[in-house]
């Protein structure tokens, strides 16, 4: 492109050229995902002007109230990605069942999972939201895909990314070869490579957790956060800062930019109601874990590496602790010590 700027399309095609035998299907699929995110970005930007704010008056499979934009964004993703012939099926936070590609289109060899509008409690108050997606290979009968085909460990992802609809719209991507960030140039409608090779600093002094759940936390999480709060007056040799946007995309993006740790851990309230976590494995925790690990960070439930979990259901929830390596390691260590003592 003129003046040496690299568009996301050029970037993806150049990546494809490095893969022997690549057919271009994946490149083309990714381009459609990018188009869907641009469309959602446009809707989010226009907000009340085009009457997309507020409740949809429906609930999703998790029993959460859907916002109008949750429903519209989901539809944008389906319509933009269903026709190309690269996908066998899609699955989303907003749909109970998988979405096999309609019969009038050819079915392809990939599966797409997504959270079309993550952090949607922020929409009406005009705070950052995002889209999260993950691409898997369809290993079974791609002509007749079922929910079971999606139940692959995070280590099987071939691409993960998110779009962040913030002061500027950004797209952050990994295909297992590092993490790159692109900013949408609204004038030309293209994402431009602005953040090559994003890496998370191993050390940090910033943590993110919803402290309104403090009384339900397990002891290792409480221990970690107490130490952060005590700063130099406690066992840590530094003072910490705290942030909570309630939009995982914004939190992960901050961590990719300047380090930090994000926790949505298991807690007693969830346990009491038979819950297994807050965030969804297939279209929130796994793609974010892939990105974070590719950027040199770490991601765990506190007890296991998230990407190694064998999913048992499409909308499965998991505890999530991710970010700067040294801090996540410390929280994992606290879980280990706690569980060992409890077993003794």
95 interacts with, out of ligand AHM, Mg ion, none, CB within 5 to 8 A per kind: none
Find the binder of Mg ion among 118, 190, 218, 293 (CB under 5 A).
118
64 interacts with, out of Mg ion, ligand AHM, none, CB within 5 to 8 A per kind: ligand AHM
User: CB of 267: closest distance to ligand AHM in angstroms?
Assistant: 11
Q: Which residue has the tokens 């406690």?
A: 234
Q: Which residue has the tokens 């641009």?
A: 38
User: CB of 59: closest distance to ligand AHM in angstroms?
Assistant: 11
Find the binder of Mg ion among 15, 82, 115, 267 (CB under 5 A).
115
3-class DSSP assignment, residue 9: helix
Q: Which residue is closest to Mg ion by CB?
A: 118
Nearer to ligand AHM, 8 or 320 (CB): 320
Q: Are 162 and 131 in contact (CB under 8 A)?
A: yes
| Residues at the interface with ligand AHM (CB under 6 A) | 64, 93, 115, 118-121, 210, 246-248, 264
Stretch binding Mg ion (CB under 5 A), from 114-122, 183-191, 205-213, 315-323: 114-122
User: CB of 119: closest distance to ligand AHM in angstroms?
Assistant: 4
Nearer to ligand AHM, 108 or 130 (CB): 130
User: CB of 147: closest distance to Mg ion in angstroms?
Assistant: 19
Which value, in Å, is the radius of gyration of the alpha carbons in the chain? Answer: 20
247 interacts with, out of ligand AHM, Mg ion, none, CB within 5 to 8 A per kind: ligand AHM
Q: What are phi and psi of 183, to 5 degrees?
A: -115, 135
Nearer to ligand AHM, 247 or 294 (CB): 247
Rounded Cα–Cα distance for residues 139 and 144 (Å): 11
Nearer to Mg ion, 7 or 213 (CB): 213
Nearer to Mg ion, 142 or 320 (CB): 320
Residue 310: how many other CB atoms lie within 10 Å: 8
Rounded Cα–Cα distance for residues 258 and 324 (Å): 9
User: CB of 157: closest distance to ligand AHM in angstroms?
Assistant: 19
Q: Are 106 and 22 in contact (CB under 8 A)?
A: no
**Using the rule CB under 5 A, is 94 a contact of Mg ion?**
no
User: CB of 70: closest distance to Mg ion in angstroms?
Assistant: 9
Nearer to Mg ion, 118 or 327 (CB): 118
Helix (H) or strand (E) holding 113: strand 110-118
Nearer to ligand AHM, 31 or 131 (CB): 131
Rounded Cα–Cα distance for residues 48 and 176 (Å): 38
Q: Name the CA dihedral angle for 281, 287, 291, 292, rounded to a multiple of 10 degrees.
A: -10
Structure tokens at 26: 């994946």
Instruction: Answer positive or negative: Cα dihedral of 224, 230, 234, 237.
Output: positive
User: CB of 299: closest distance to ligand AHM in angstroms?
Assistant: 14
User: CB of 93: closest distance to ligand AHM in angstroms?
Assistant: 6
Q: Are 64 and 87 in contact (CB under 8 A)?
A: no
Q: Per-residue DSSP letters for 118-180?
A: ETGGGGGGT--EEEEEEEEE--S-TTS--GGGG---GGG-SEEEEEEESSSEEEEEESSS-EE
Number of residues in contact with Mg ion under rule CB under 5 A: 2
Q: Are 321 and 299 in contact (CB under 8 A)?
A: yes
Nearer to Mg ion, 193 or 246 (CB): 246
The residues of the shown chain that bind Mg ion, judged by CB under 5 A, are: 115, 118
């Amino acid at each position: 492109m003129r003046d040496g700027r690299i568009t996301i399309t050029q970037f993806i095609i150049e990546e494809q050229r490095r893969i022997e035998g690549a057919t271009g299907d994946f490149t083309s699929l990714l381009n459609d995902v990018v188009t869907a995110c641009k469309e959602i970005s446009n809707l989010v930007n226009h907000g009340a002007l085009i009457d997309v704010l507020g409740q949809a008056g429906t609930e999703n499979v998790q029993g959460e109230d859907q916002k109008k934009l949750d429903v519209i964004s989901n539809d944008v993703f389906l319509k933009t990605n269903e026709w190309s012939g690269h996908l066998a099926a899609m699955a989303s936070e907003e749909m109970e069942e998988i979405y096999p590609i309609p019969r009038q289109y050819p079915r392809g060899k990939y599966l797409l999972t997504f959270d079309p509008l993550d952090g949607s409690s922020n929409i009406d108050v005009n705070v950052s939201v995002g889209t999260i997606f993950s691409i898997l290979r369809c290993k079974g009968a791609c002509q007749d895909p079922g929910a079971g085909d999606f139940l692959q460990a995070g280590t099987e992802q071939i691409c993960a990314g998110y779009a962040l609809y913030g002061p500027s719209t950004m797209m952050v991507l990994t295909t297992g070869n590092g993490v790159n960030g692109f900013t949408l140039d609204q004038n030309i409608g293209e994402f431009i490579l602005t953040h090559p090779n994003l890496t998370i600093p191993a050390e940090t002094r910033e943590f993110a957790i919803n402290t309104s759940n403090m009384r339900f936390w397990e002891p290792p999480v409480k221990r970690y956060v107490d130490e952060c709060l005590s700063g130099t007056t406690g066992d840590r040799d530094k003072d910490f800062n705290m942030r909570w946007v309630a939009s995982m995309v914004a939190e992960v993006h901050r961590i990719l930019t300047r380090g930090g740790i994000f926790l949505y851990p298991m807690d007693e309230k969830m346990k009491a109601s038979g819950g297994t976590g807050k965030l969804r494995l297939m279209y929130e925790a796994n793609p974010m874990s892939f990105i974070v690990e590719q950027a040199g960070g770490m991601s765990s439930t506190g007890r296991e590496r998230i990407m190694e979990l064998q999913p048992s259901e499409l909308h499965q929830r998991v505890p999530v602790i991710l970010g700067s390596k040294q801090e996540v390691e410390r929280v994992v260590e606290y879980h280990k010590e706690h569980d060992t003592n409890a077993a003794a």
